[in-house]
Every structure is written in C-alpha cells, then in structure tokens.
Structure 1
Amino acid sequence: MLKLENVTRRFGGYAAVNNVTITVPKGQMVGVIGRSGAGKSTLLRMLNRLIDPSSGSVRFDQTEITELRGAALRNWQRDCAMIFQQFNLVPRLNVLTNVLLGRLNYRSTLLNLTGSFSKEERAMAISALERLGIAQTALQSAGTLSGGQQQRVAIARALMQQPKMILADEPIASLDPLNAKVVMDSLHNINQEEGITVITNLHTLDTARHYCERVIGMAAGEVVFDGPAENLTSEAVRMIYGAAAEELSEDITSTSIKDKASTPSVGSLQHAV
C-alpha cells in the first residue's frame, strides 16, 4: 500500500503540490487529471523520488520513501518504475538493448560497465516485447520507431524492472488516438494480469473514465476530487478544471476511436465526461 500524508512541494514561495493526503491500495489503476500546472507531474516525481517533498510523508508498506538514500533509494526507483511522455530511450541503441537497460539496478557495477546481459535477461526482454506486440522491432534503432512503438518499448523496459508499481507521466499526451489506445490497453492489461499498481497522469477525461477504477483530480496543487471513475460528473469536472470546464467538448477531450458515422458533434460538458 502507498500512503501519502500532508505531502507538499514548494518551489520558492509557490506550492506545486499542497498538503496532499491519499492512500492507494495494491493493485489499483489510478488516473490523475487536472489542468496544466495542477501539480500532477510533480506528484508522480515525488513518489519516484526524482524530486523530494518539502514536507510530509510518503510510505510504501512499512518503508518511509522520503528517507531512502544510496542503494535503498536505487532499489525503490527500480521497484517504482517510471514511464515518461518523452519515452527517455537511447535513440542510437537498438530496441532490445533499450529494454535490457531496465535490468541495470539488478546487476553489479562491473557487469553494467561491460554491457553484457545474460541469456535469461535477453529472453525476458524478448518476452516483454512480444507481450507488447513489437518483438519484430528488437534489432531496430529505437530512434527509427513511431511514437507509439517507442512508448511500448518504454513500457517493456519498465516491466524488466519487475516493479511493484508503475508511474506513467502523461504517457499518451504526444500520441494519436490509435496509438494512445494501444498504450493504455497495455498498461491496463499489466495492471489486471500482474496486479501491479498503476498511477498515470492523463489529459483526457474519457481515457480516465474508461481505464481507471479510481480518478484523482488536482487543481492548484490540491486534490479536489478522489473517487470512482463513474463519479466523475460534470460538477466534479468543474471542480477540477474551474470555469474553463464550461468550454470542454467531446472533440477536445476524447482519445477514443470512433466511426465517423457515430462520432458525436461538439457537445456539452455532459457529453465530454
């Protein structure tokens, strides 16, 4: 179980995340939504300890994450895999090697310096790529792949960490609807089949409702909504997005794949959510 208590992150006098308290049981798939600057990315980066909280507690089971240093911190960042919007692959390396990099925190410094991987590790990497439907790209340079393929490589790399939790920071923000669906289907399947907790920042309302059993809405660094996806009503969305929510429409917020004949016209906020 992940538990945050009164977590705050300040940048000078500005509180990017302000006094957040949430508990995430093992195996949940959680979507975090909100306007740009609401604190979503800062929240995930504190969970992975890419940045430190200014105050408050982050605990996973019995471990106080904010106190970890050295090898213990590296082990936590292995167990809490991070997937980024920009993929963070090494473009000149082939896909297989990029995926194998997910094993670095399991290996000695000497083995990492030599760059050698065992047959078992290579088999794991191929299996991860097959699971994500891109095994045929294993020997291609990562930089030659499409955005959707690169994001699936990043997910395969995260699986190589054998994580207890996956954090995805806007994983579909730069993808077209078809690739966005493939990536979200992959994350959802991992959550359902492996029981791995997934917390993902999302910029589309329909995606959060479709894939996430729980939605956390943030505004100005604070949690203003926390509940089941089916409770994400028009009123709840207005709390998250403020006055701008009145201008939201299906065309703006949707990543779903629809036939032209069934695609609704620009609708009201009720249709958007």
Structure 2
Amino acid sequence: MLEIRNVTRRFGENIAVNAVSLSIPQGQMVGIIGRSGAGKSTLLRMINRLADTSEGGIHFGDRAVSSLRGARLRSWQRDCAMIFQQFNLVPRLDVLTNVMLGRLNHRSQILSLLSIFSDEERMMAMAALERLGIEKTALQPAGTLSGGQQQRVAIARALMQQPRMLLADEPIASLDPLNAKIVMDALKDINQRDGITVITNLHTLDTARTYCERIIGMSKGSVVFDGPPVDLTLDAVREIYGGESNDIDESMTSTSINIPANKLASGATPSVEPQLVAPAGA
C-alpha cells in the first residue's frame, strides 16, 4: 500500500501540491488528470523522491519513503520505476544497452562504471523488448527510433528494474494516437499481468476512462476528484478543469466529452468507443 499523508510541496511562495492525502493499494491502475500546473508531475516526482516534500510524508509498507537517504533511497528508486514524456534515453547507445541500464541499481558500482552486463541481463533485456514488440530494434541507436518506439524502450528499461510500482509522467503526451494506444496497452498489460501498481499522469480524459480503474483529478495542487471512471461526471470535469458553461473546451482535455448531461449524471459510460487523441501541438 502506498500512503501519501497530507503532503505539500512549496517552491518559494508557490504551493505546487497542497495537503494531498491518498491511499493506493498494490496492483491498482491509477490515472491522474488535471490542467498543466495542477501539481500532477510534482506529486509523481515526490513519490519517486526526485523532489522532496515540504510537509507531510509518503510511506510504502513499512518504508518512510519521504525520509530515505543513501542506499535505501536508491533501493526505493529501483522498486519505484519512472518513465518520462521525454523518454530519457541515451541516443547514441543501442537500444539493448539502453534497456540494460535499468539494471544499474542491482549491480556493483564497479560493474556499473565499466558497463559490463551479464548474459542473463542481456537475455532479460531482449525478453523485455520482445514483450513490447520492438526486439528488431535491439542493435539500433536509440536516437534513430520513432517517439513511440523510444517510449517502449523506456518502458522496457523500467521493467529491467523489476519494480513494484511504475510511475509514468505524461507518457503519451508527445505521441500520435496509434503510438499512444500501443504505449497505454503496454502499461495496462504490465499492471494486469505482473500485478505492478501503475500511476500515470494523463492529459486525455478518454484515455483515463479507458485504461484506469481509478482516476484522481487535481486542480491548483489539490485533489478535487478521486473515484472510478463511472463517477467522472461533467460536474466533476468542470471542477477539475474549470469552466462555467455547459460545454467544456475540448482543447483543454484533448478529448471529446460531448456526452449528454443526463447520461453523465447517471454515471453511464459513453456508448461510443473512446478514441485516443494527440494533445494539441504534439
């Protein structure tokens, strides 16, 4: 169980995350939605300890995540893998080596510095690439791949950590609809087949509805919605994204939410198949 207890993050006088408390059971698939600047990325970075909390605490089982240091912190960042919108690969290195870099926290410092990988690690990396359908790119420089392929390499690298939790910070924000679907399908498969908790920040409402069993909506650093997709009514969307009129600007969420208000109010799901839509400007 991941426990986020009254967590606040300040940057000077600006409050990026404001007194957030959440409990996330092992194996849940969670989508966090909200406007840019709502605090979504800061929250994930605090969970992974790329950023410290200003107040409150984060706990995972018996580990006080927010106070870990040194080797214990490195162990947590191994167990809590993170993928980013920018992929964070080494472009000049081949795909296989990029994936094997996910083993660094499992290895001695000397072996890591020398980049000496075992045959077992190479086999693990190939298996991860095969699982994601990109094994044929193993010897290509990572920088020659498409954005969708690079994100799948980043997911394969995260799998090499053998994590208990996977955090994905806007993993499809820069991808076209087809590649976005492939990446989200991969994250869902990892969640369901391996029982790994997946927490992902998303811009698209339809993606959150389709893939996540639980949706958390953030606005101005606070959690204003927490529930299953069926409870994400038009009123809830307005509270997350703002807006007083009956129509929410589609460009705000990069998705269509033109569902009759009476259906949303009753908790009905859309009768049409949700479509992944690339964010504006992607």
TM-score by length of 2: 0.90
**Aligned residue number for residue 138 of structure 1:** 138
Structure 2: any 5+ residue segments left out of the alignment? Answer: 262-269, 275-282
Change (3 A) 1:233 1:250: farther
Report what 1:23 is aligned to. Answer: 23
How big is the shift at 1:252?
5.9
Q: 1:244 to 1:127 in 2, by over 3 A?
A: farther
Deviation at 1:229, TM superposition (A): 1.2
1:32, CA displacement in angstroms?
A: 0.1
The alignment's C-alpha RMSD in Å is 1.9
Residue in structure 1 matched with residue 208 of structure 2 by the alignment = 208
1:253 aligned residue = 254
Q: TM-score, normalised by structure 1?
A: 0.93
Counterpart-to-counterpart distance in 1, 2:36 and 2:260: 19
For residue 247 of structure 1, report the CA deviation from its aligned partner.
3.1
Q: Structure 1 runs of 4+ off > 2 angstroms?
A: 244-254, 266-273
1:259 alignment counterpart: none
Could you tell me which amino acid in structure 2 is paired with residue 222 of structure 1?
Answer: S
Is 1:71 matched with 2:71?
A: yes
CA contact 2:35–2:252 (8 Å) conserved in 1: no
Q: Check whether the contact 2:238–2:248 (CA below 8 A) recurs between aligned residues.
A: no
Deviation at 1:269, TM superposition (A): 7.9
Per-residue deviation, 1:267: 4.1
User: 1:244, CA displacement in angstroms?
Assistant: 7.2
Deviations 1:186-226 (A, max 9, x none): 00000000000000000000000000000000000000000
Q: Could you tell me which residue of structure 2 aligns to residue 83 of structure 1? A: 83
**Structure 1: gaps of 5 or more residues:** 255-263
Letter in 1 for 2:170: E
Are 2:45 and 1:39 equivalent residues in the alignment? no
Q: How many residues align?
A: 263
C-alpha distance 269-216 of structure 1, shift in aligned 2 (>3 A): farther
Identity value in percent: 68
Q: Is 2:39 the counterpart of 1:55?
A: no
In 1, the alpha carbon distance for the partners of 2:101 and 2:178 equals: 27
Instruction: Specify the alignment match of 1:257 in structure 2.
Output: none
CA change 1:116–1:238 in 2 (3 A) is: same
SS class of match (1:247): coil
